[in-house]
Structure 1
Amino acid sequence: MFRFRGVKDKTKILAGEPWHFDHHVLVLRSVEGQEQPSNIFLFVTPFWVQIHGLPFNYRDSKIAMMIGKKLGVLMEVYQEEDWDMLSIMRVRVGLNLRNPLRTTLPVAAEEEEAFVVSFRYEQLPTFCFLCRRLGHGMKDCGYKSDEEIHDEGSLSYTEELRAPPFRKNFFF
């Protein structure tokens, strides 16, 4: 539990999520009024997610919002003046840490052939390449069998889920 001296500090800390400690995500929630800390749901935390592979004609905030809602709780869509010129789009979503990270998503296009977008997660802490969940590595995975854990050659999830730090004008 953390206590802040002022609302400004608390707002700044919550706006900077996700925070990490020892390569693990630190889930933060604000306690309001008479709320008991033991009753607070601590499985959702915000991440910036990069959307890759969108065709040029589908790079707008409406599409980003639709995709963000499929990933988790949509919090924000990154806005840029030259939005359609970026090779990626970014959304901030509250991800349920008990669920596997999504790697791709098929998108049904209006009157056109469907396409698939892929995702990269900014500031991604320790995660398992087998089950795609945060909070543990492959050797500690309780979701997969020992046989799957030792067969590292068949991994379909790699460091590519980890996005490079986003910088304005970096992806033109």
Structure 2
Amino acid sequence: MADSIRRAMQDIDLGFHDAPISLPVEVVRQAAEENRFILIGRPVMPRKQNLRALIATMPRNWGLEGLVRGRIIEGRRFQFVFPSEEAMDTVVRRGPWAFADRMLVLQRWTPLMDMAMLNFIPFWVQIRGIPFQFMNRDVILHIAREVGQYIQMDYNEEAGSRLEFVRVRLNWNIGQPLRFQRHFQFTPGVNTLLRFHFERLRGFCESCGMLTHDSGACLIHNGGQGNDGDDDSEDDAPENDAPGEQG
């Protein structure tokens, strides 16, 4: 309580009306140059994913230890600063990523970034069960847009009839439960069951499909005992380093 009061006291506007201070142009330019290539992210289960361990571990998992700098920022979020766009794009292409067996939200940061993007994880999703007589890009596109936020498609028209599945890349809203099966009607009144396999998926609630909590914290499973969500009271508390796992 005392710490909260002391922090709140420093939120008053002393100094707000003082004359602004201009920083040297070259200093600002150099700082902007060093921070051009940034990924910003957040854990989907903050209580299970230690931020200090996360920023120490992920560069090693990417094979970029000593080249990528990680830092914890406000709101239980983190950033990784890359030496080049190529290195950053390689990490993005190899994603999505997990830490401590739970998924991470990881998006490219820009000064004008819509922070709502930190609610989305881009997954490659395999769609299985589309009848071959209906297999084409338009059908796949319509299915993908019904399932999630469409990004791109990996489909070869010539090889389509020989594939066990097609792949689409979707931005998945972590506020929505995963769905691995859905009925679609290619012919009115006739249900066809399609199955969806999320590549590189780790850690989700097996009761409701949410990425943001385990089954032990699920209202459906056991009335919600426990809590995997944020706890603002821990924002300024030191975090114990703990080993993590990468998926």
How far is 1:59 from its partner? Answer: 2.1
Matched, 1:22 2:100: yes
**Residues 113-152 of structure 1 mapped to structure 2, 5 A cutoff:** 113-141=190-218, 143-146=219-222
Matched, 1:4 2:91: no
* RMSD of equivalent CA atoms: 2.4
Given that residues 29 and 40 in structure 1 are in contact (C-alpha distance below 8 angstroms), is that contact kept between their aligned partners in structure 2?
no
The amino acid of 2:220's aligned partner reads: K
Q: Please give the alpha-carbon distance, in whole angstroms, between the structure 1 residues aligned to 2:103 and 2:140.
A: 25
Give per-residue Cα distances to partners, 1:7-54, cap 9 Å, x unaligned: 111111122220111111111122213559xx4541101111111221
Q: Which residue pairs with 1:58 in the alignment?
A: 134
Q: Please give the alpha-carbon distance, in whole angstroms, between the structure 2 residues aligned to 1:113 and 1:138.
A: 34
Give per-residue Cα distances to partners, 1:38-92, cap 9 Å, x unaligned: x454110111111122111122222111111112111111123411211211111
Give per-residue Cα distances to partners, 1:131-168, cap 9 Å, x unaligned: 11114321122x3252799xxxxxxxxxxxxxxxxxxx
Q: What SS does structure 1 have at the residue aligned with 2:133?
A: helix
Q: Please give the alpha-carbon distance, in whole angstroms, between the structure 1 residues aligned to 2:113 and 2:180.
A: 36
How far is 1:112 from its partner? Answer: 7.7
C-alpha distance 6-60 of structure 1, shift in aligned 2 (>3 A): same
The amino acid of 2:101's aligned partner reads: H
How far is 1:123 from its partner? Answer: 0.9
How far is 1:126 from its partner? Answer: 0.3
> Under a length normalisation based on structure 1, what TM-score does the superposition of the two structures give?
0.74
Q: Please give the alpha-carbon distance, in whole angstroms, between the structure 2 residues aligned to 1:45 and 1:148.
A: 24
The amino acid of 1:21's aligned partner reads: F
Q: Which residue pairs with 1:152 in the alignment?
A: none
Larger radius of gyration: 2
C-alpha distance 32-60 of structure 1, shift in aligned 2 (>3 A): same
Q: Please give the alpha-carbon distance, in whole angstroms, between the structure 1 residues aligned to 2:200 and 2:87.
A: 21
Give per-residue Cα distances to partners, 1:68-122, cap 9 Å, x unaligned: 1112111111123411211211111010011111122222225683422121211
> Deviating runs (4+, > 4 A) in structure 1?
none
C-alpha distance 35-105 of structure 1, shift in aligned 2 (>3 A): closer
**Percent of aligned pairs sharing the same letter:** 26
Aligned length: 146
Given that residues 49 and 122 in structure 1 are in contact (C-alpha distance below 8 angstroms), is that contact kept between their aligned partners in structure 2?
yes
Q: Please give the alpha-carbon distance, in whole angstroms, between the structure 2 residues aligned to 1:94 and 1:121.
A: 11
Given that residues 123 and 169 in structure 2 are in contact (C-alpha distance below 8 angstroms), is that contact kept between their aligned partners in structure 1?
yes
